Amino acid sequence: MSERKTNGSVPAFGNFLAYLRLQGFRIGLDHYVRVQELLERIGGNRDLDQLRTLLCPLFATSEKQQKRFYDAFDDYAELVQAPSPPPPPPPPDPEKAKKPEREKKRARLRFYLAGAGSLLTVLLIGLALGVIPTPSFMTWTPQPTPEVTPKPDETPIPTPTEVPKGKGSGGFVEPLPVTPQPTSAPTAEIPPATEEKPVIAPPAPLRFYLLVISALLALYILWELYRFLRRKLFLRRQAARKPPSIWPIRVEAPAVKIYDSEDFYRAARLMRRRQVAEYHRLDVNATVAATISALGYPTFRYKPDSKAPEYLVLIDRASFRDHQAQLFNELITAFEQEGLFVVRYFYEGDPRVCCDDKGENCVHLSELQNQYVGHRLLIFGNGDKLLDPITGRLAAWTSMFLDWQDRAVLTPEARWELREFSLATQFIVLPASLDGLMALVDHFDTMVTTDPRIWSPSGVHEPPADLDERVNVEELKSYLGDPAFQWLCACSVYPELQWNLTLYLGSLGCLDPGTVREQNLLRLIRLPWFRAGSVPDSMRWPLINQLGEKREPEVRSAIINLLEKSPPPVGTIAADKYDLELAVQHWRREQDADSLKKLHRVMSRLTPGQILKDQTLVHYLEREPNPVLDLLLPRRLRKYFFRRGIPSFGLKTGFRFVIILLLISLASILIRNQTIPVPAFLQNPVASPTVTPPETPTDVEREAARRAEEEAKRRNDLEQAVRQRYEEERRRLGQNRPTPSPTVSSRVSPRPSPPVISDPSLRVRPETFGETTRLQPGETKPGPDNSVISVAFQRNGPLYTRTFQNSDCPIESIRVQKSVDEMTNTEIWVRRRSGEVSKVKNWATPLTDSCKKIFGKVPAPIFAPSPTPLPTSTPTRIFARRETPAVVMPSFIGLTERQMRTKLAASKLKLGQLTYQPQGTPGLVIDQYPVQGATIPEGFPADFVVGKARDDSTLVPVPNVVGMFTSRAIRALEAVGLTYEIVGERGIGQSSSDSRSLFTKARWEYEVVPGEKKVFRQDPPAGKIVKPGTTVRLWARY
């Protein structure tokens, strides 16, 4: 500022004075003269800073004006300031210095994320293409046959159909998908690496399939990751937002004068008319005359003094945007400018508490009574709160007003009813118009009380009733008249009603000239919307439509100009709303794709909650034509697919996932049906496409091919046999096991049920009972009597097992003898009761002759060892599973509890969970788990349900929490022992279990807006009898 200079010429200030006038200053000729004189006296070339404080005292007449002058001067100085050399760079601000650092960090993070994403994609595609070695878990395990050399004491490898149903394993017969055994060329040794076949790569269609699936999945994951990070960034940015949160549109008071008529000046003149003062002065002339009459004896005569009337004005103000209060305030200000002495206060319904213009300094009516009792009291408002709501008469406290000799209620109401006549018993009741004021002054002068009925407005249209509901536009038009109706429509374009904005819009050229006048304003302010400060969203849409194609763009242009003049500070909460409003106004004015794109860009930076506050915008967005979407998806179904039902908000997360699944399924079908040809370079991923195969195979190759064919055929046969055997076992088990009663068993406490083998190619065993112990090299595990010990050998993925029947050939202990670095060196030793100690040399090899019979019936390992030589560093794990004898679960249904316990002990089972349910016959077992016939290990804890007499006291009715705030609803539910889950308006929210994933949490936070939600729906409904602990789902919204 110190750099600013002026040439000091008076004409240079001409524009400034005009600018000041626009700012509401009253500039007269004397101001020009004084400015000129001052400038001449102080000389030119003054700093603007100095001029600022030198000129202000000439124009300001109050504290408020002083501040406004300084602001106006600064604004104007910026406009006219000549370009000055750039100031020297300020010293680095540590805060600002941190900013680029943060930016750098963010850029670095973005770079890393992009890099990681790209790498992941390349990895996935590479995996699919076979460029990168495929991990074992992704390989198509070829079920190769280990080339094991049988020893003389070996039992031939049984076929799956020969799998015995031993004593201990009958119930859970090993329906192991037996790996084809090397019946043709059995050997006890692992073949050397050179003889092993390489891992067979998946066939080309599979690789292509993997490629497509991987690509789709990668794209989906990357997209979701991008969205997730974007939301996190958004939340961080939202958290960094600064106040202010509100930045109302700034409209300078328009130059239009509402009160500029002859009637107004006449009313002001009448109101200024002097009144009789409460004190008297010596009347000299009358005293002289009286003294003469009294023959010189002093006789004093007095006359009442007169004084300028002073007014105490109380204005009913429902809100700071209450146009009714603003209109009355405007009237009073106009009177003040005409020299009336007015003290004004505002009240909200009840005038016993009045506040100043800013609503800060509030006083009780009794204080005003003491201070301004000599003033004329004018109450602007309908006086509702002055009446007793029961009797309809004036409330007792209104006697306070009796101290004011001159008092009146000026009402804006169109219809005069009992209320006005009740008020008239104590006040002069007149319409709040210039006519009413003139009549009031006459009344104050003459003190003639007139019948209020003569002032009852006749021919004044009343506003339509029930304006809160949907109102007929034609009815509204009829009430307001065309100019005022168009004005109302123009006001509906902006979501808020502000006094200055309303006047500004009313004075636009596209509306009728003379729209802004008292009569129109009086009609508008009778609409409750103008008291509340906003037109309901449901009404804005139809009203804007009534503006017409010509007027709407003009009104929007005017609003855009205003918005662009006073943008809020960047980075504030208000800036978001401002950007949205500006983008909406641009879009609605231009109605082209570019502006819509800009709007979407702005919307992407906001929460849906912020957007949804403007229902008219939502309406526009919903109505936005989208030919392709309209064809594909009817509007009524959009809510199921799009967030909030609006395409601009994007697809729902679940639906995006479904789309990806559908794409994957489609790709699978197409690839399987060979609709999509497999690319050439994927036809033989093992052999390089550049390698040309020999045209004529050699004999060795032919022999190898023949062997491979035979091998494949044999493998298929074995697989078929295993599958058949497995299916048989499944059928047998399924028939033996009775179907439990659904009504009863559903109440049994959930326990993990045995896994159902649906696919015989599964590589894991079905559940066996017992405990699994991991054996470290050199560790010995005791083997109890009558048990089955399964030894499993796991190496880099595949699991090899061997089961030893202990009943016929008791095993005392099992020991892993030495470090296992590779399969051939693995030594597992088994000690038997007979004292025999033997070493498991090969997984497919029985141990001793004495156990030949047994081992001959033991199923072969699930998977034969991989013929591929593994590196010595490959991790190897050895497990020993000690399996316990099984029993068949008898039936306990119908027994008493005591009988059940006895039978349970006899069956070598333990009692698990015992539940009493108010169903069935009291005292008798009505349900059991496992069901009858199930094979379970000894000592298995069985659960039972015993009937008992119904006791309703354990059940609770669900309380009605609809309409409550969530916190209160939660308390109500917890009070009766129920749990809750808040699912939000659209199924998003928080749960009492708080089992949200990070993504869900981020999404939930993304959607959350300050404040407490209210429950609008609950499930189960209120009154339903449920068990304590039942989860009640609550839908809540703001």
Partner 1 sequence: MNEEARFLFYAGDGTRIATRNLQTPSYREVNLPDEAQDYLAEKGLRDAVNVALLLGQPLLVTGEPGTGKTQLARSVAHELNLHSPLVFNTKTTSTAKDLFYRYDSLGHFHDTQFQTEGLSIEKYITYEALGLAILLSLTPEEAGSCLPRELQTVGPVRSVVLIDEIDKAPRDMPNDVLNEIENMSFTVRETGRTFAANPDYRPIVILTSNSEKNLPEPFLRRCIFYHIAFPDKDRLKEIVGRRLRLDSGFTDKMIENALRHFIEIRKLGKLRKKPATAELLAWLRILEKKGIDVNDKSRAEELSFTYSTLVKSKDDLELLRNTPALIAKYE
Applying CB under 8 A, does 95 fall inside the site for partner 1? no
Applying CB under 8 A, does 366 fall inside the site for partner 1? no
Q: How far is the CB of 312 from partner 1 (least distance, A)?
A: 12
Applying CB under 8 A, does 57 fall inside the site for partner 1? yes
Q: How far is the CB of 286 from partner 1 (least distance, A)?
A: 16
Closer residue to partner 1 in complex, CB, 1/670: 1
d(CA 996, CA 1024): 28
Applying CB under 8 A, does 364 fall inside the site for partner 1? no
Applying CB under 8 A, does 30 fall inside the site for partner 1? yes
Applying CB under 8 A, does 66 fall inside the site for partner 1? yes
Q: Which of 3, 37, 252, 260 binds partner 1 (CB under 8 A)?
A: 37
Closer residue to partner 1 in complex, CB, 61/761: 61
Q: Which of 10, 21, 32, 34 binds partner 1 (CB under 8 A)?
A: 34
d(CA 334, CA 258): 9
Closer residue to partner 1 in complex, CB, 26/1001: 26
Single out the residue of 836, 796, 795 nearest to residue 813, CA to CA: 836
Applying CB under 8 A, does 42 fall inside the site for partner 1? yes
Of 57-65, 404-412, 628-636, 999-1007, which segment contacts partner 1 by CB under 8 A?
57-65
Residues 6 or more apart whose Cβ sits within 8 Å of residue 1037: 984, 985, 1013, 1014, 1016
Q: How far is the CB of 1010 from partner 1 (least distance, A)?
A: 25
Of 125-133, 303-311, 783-791, 804-812, which segment contacts partner 1 by CB under 8 A?
303-311
**Site size for partner 1 (CB under 8 A):** 29
Distances (CA, A) of 581 to 390, 535, 588: 46, 16, 11
Closer residue to partner 1 in complex, CB, 122/282: 282
**What single-letter DSSP state applies at residue 613?**
T
d(CA 1016, CA 738): 45
Applying CB under 8 A, does 307 fall inside the site for partner 1? yes
Residues 6 or more apart whose Cβ sits within 8 Å of residue 12: 6, 80
Single out the residue of 876, 841, 870, 827 nearest to residue 193, CA to CA: 870
Q: Which of 276, 308, 362, 637 binds partner 1 (CB under 8 A)?
A: 308
**What single-letter DSSP state applies at residue 852?**
H
Cβ atoms of 260 and 518 within 8 Å: the answer is no
Q: How far is the CB of 77 from partner 1 (least distance, A)?
A: 16
Closer residue to partner 1 in complex, CB, 268/851: 268
Q: Which of 339, 697, 977, 1021 binds partner 1 (CB under 8 A)?
A: 339
Applying CB under 8 A, does 355 fall inside the site for partner 1? no
Single out the residue of 846, 838, 840, 813 nearest to residue 827, CA to CA: 840
Is the dihedral angle over the CA atoms 519, 522, 523, 529 positive or is it negative?
A: positive
Applying CB under 8 A, does 342 fall inside the site for partner 1? yes
Q: Which residue matches tokens 């009146």?
A: 408
| DSSP code per residue over 385-417 | GGB-TTT-SBPGGGGGGGG-SSEEEEE--SS--
Applying CB under 8 A, does 153 fall inside the site for partner 1? no
Distances (CA, A) of 920 to 103, 927, 940: 71, 10, 25
Helical H runs in 81-141?
Answer: 94-129
Q: How far is the CB of 342 from partner 1 (least distance, A)?
A: 8
Closer residue to partner 1 in complex, CB, 336/512: 336
Of 305-313, 387-395, 746-754, 763-771, which segment contacts partner 1 by CB under 8 A?
305-313
Q: How far is the CB of 308 from partner 1 (least distance, A)?
A: 5
Count of other CB atoms within 10 angstroms of residue 183:
13
Closer residue to partner 1 in complex, CB, 287/546: 287
Q: Which of 15, 61, 118, 370 binds partner 1 (CB under 8 A)?
A: 61
Q: Which of 21, 50, 263, 794 binds partner 1 (CB under 8 A)?
A: 50
Applying CB under 8 A, does 827 fall inside the site for partner 1? no
Cβ atoms of 751 and 160 within 8 Å: the answer is no
Single out the residue of 274, 436, 267, 432 nearest to residue 338, CA to CA: 267
* Residues constituting the chain: 1038
Q: Which of 234, 265, 341, 829 binds partner 1 (CB under 8 A)?
A: 341
Strands of 940-986 (E only): list them: 941-947, 956-957, 979-982
d(CA 307, CA 274): 5
Q: Which two tokens stand for residue 532?
A: 């509340």
d(CA 354, CA 364): 6
Q: Which of 5, 8, 22, 56 binds partner 1 (CB under 8 A)?
A: 56
d(CA 851, CA 338): 123
**What single-letter DSSP state applies at residue 419?**
H
d(CA 748, CA 927): 8
Count of other CB atoms within 10 angstroms of residue 47:
14
Applying CB under 8 A, does 272 fall inside the site for partner 1? no
Applying CB under 8 A, does 363 fall inside the site for partner 1? no
Applying CB under 8 A, does 63 fall inside the site for partner 1? yes
Applying CB under 8 A, does 41 fall inside the site for partner 1? yes
Applying CB under 8 A, does 337 fall inside the site for partner 1? yes
Applying CB under 8 A, does 26 fall inside the site for partner 1? yes
Q: How far is the CB of 338 from partner 1 (least distance, A)?
A: 9
Closer residue to partner 1 in complex, CB, 361/954: 361
Q: How far is the CB of 64 from partner 1 (least distance, A)?
A: 9
What residues form DSSP beta bridges with 363? 354
Applying CB under 8 A, does 310 fall inside the site for partner 1? yes
Q: How far is the CB of 280 from partner 1 (least distance, A)?
A: 13
Applying CB under 8 A, does 10 fall inside the site for partner 1? no
Single out the residue of 489, 264, 473, 557 nearest to residue 502, CA to CA: 489
Applying CB under 8 A, does 304 fall inside the site for partner 1? no
User: What string of H, E and C letters represents the secondary structure of 733-745?
Assistant: HHHHCCCCCHHHH
Applying CB under 8 A, does 24 fall inside the site for partner 1? no
Verify cis geometry, omega within 30 degrees of 0, for the bond prior to 685. Answer: no
Three-state DSSP class for residue 34? helix
Closer residue to partner 1 in complex, CB, 30/951: 30
Of 7-15, 29-37, 728-736, 841-849, which segment contacts partner 1 by CB under 8 A?
29-37
Of 24-32, 90-98, 553-561, 846-854, which segment contacts partner 1 by CB under 8 A?
24-32
Verify cis geometry, omega within 30 degrees of 0, for the bond prior to 677. Answer: no
What residues form DSSP beta bridges with 312? 343, 377
Site residues, partner 1 (CB under 8 A): 26, 28, 30, 34, 37-38, 41-42, 50, 53-54, 56-58, 60-63, 65-66, 307-308, 310, 336-337, 339, 341-343
